[in-house]
Amino acid sequence: MKREKNNNINPEVAALTLNKQTFAAKVTKHWQFYLIVALPLLFFIIFRYYPMYGILLAFKKRYSVSKGIWGSDWSQPYGLGQFIKFFSNPSALRTMWNTFSISMYALFASIPLAVIMAICLNECRSEKWKKTVQLVTYAPYFISTVVMAILSQGIHHPR
């Protein structure tokens, strides 16, 4: 019995195999796209992943500046000495509970208060008052604390 040759090739597969390009050719052809993708990628590497390198300090016995993070001695046993020391403290659970409860309070209190304030400002008729309240409440988020302290001191204690 003769085997029949299957000449029915999918046109999409054929187009993909004919248009194979090397990675370098794709990068040079679409360099603007790769540049746009590289900028946020660099941002996350520099400001999100690189600072996590400092987390290793939690597993070190004593950090020595001259030895660096990798040269300093590891905490025993298995680098968990600092954690064992913390959790053996009788106030560890209370400290963790306080941290959790303050975070939850801040989360659940800030959202409704922000919505209530936005509704109240929306109902306010005086545009001047509305803009003043918005400036006073939102300025600390955009201006550093030091600058706000200097401005406050200048307003309250003029020379």
The most confident of 15-24, 79-88, 128-137, by mean pLDDT = 128-137
Q: Which residue has the tokens 């929306």?
A: 122
The most confident of 49-53, 101-105, 141-145, by mean pLDDT = 101-105
In this prediction, residue 140 carries a pLDDT of 79
Q: Rounded to 5 degrees, what are φ and ψ at 74?
A: -75, 145
Average pLDDT, the chain: 83
Rounded mean pLDDT of 135-148?
82
Rounded mean pLDDT of 87-108?
94
CA distance readout (Å), 84 to 56, 75, 81, 95, 121: 16, 10, 5, 15, 50
| pLDDT reading at 18 higher than 60 | no
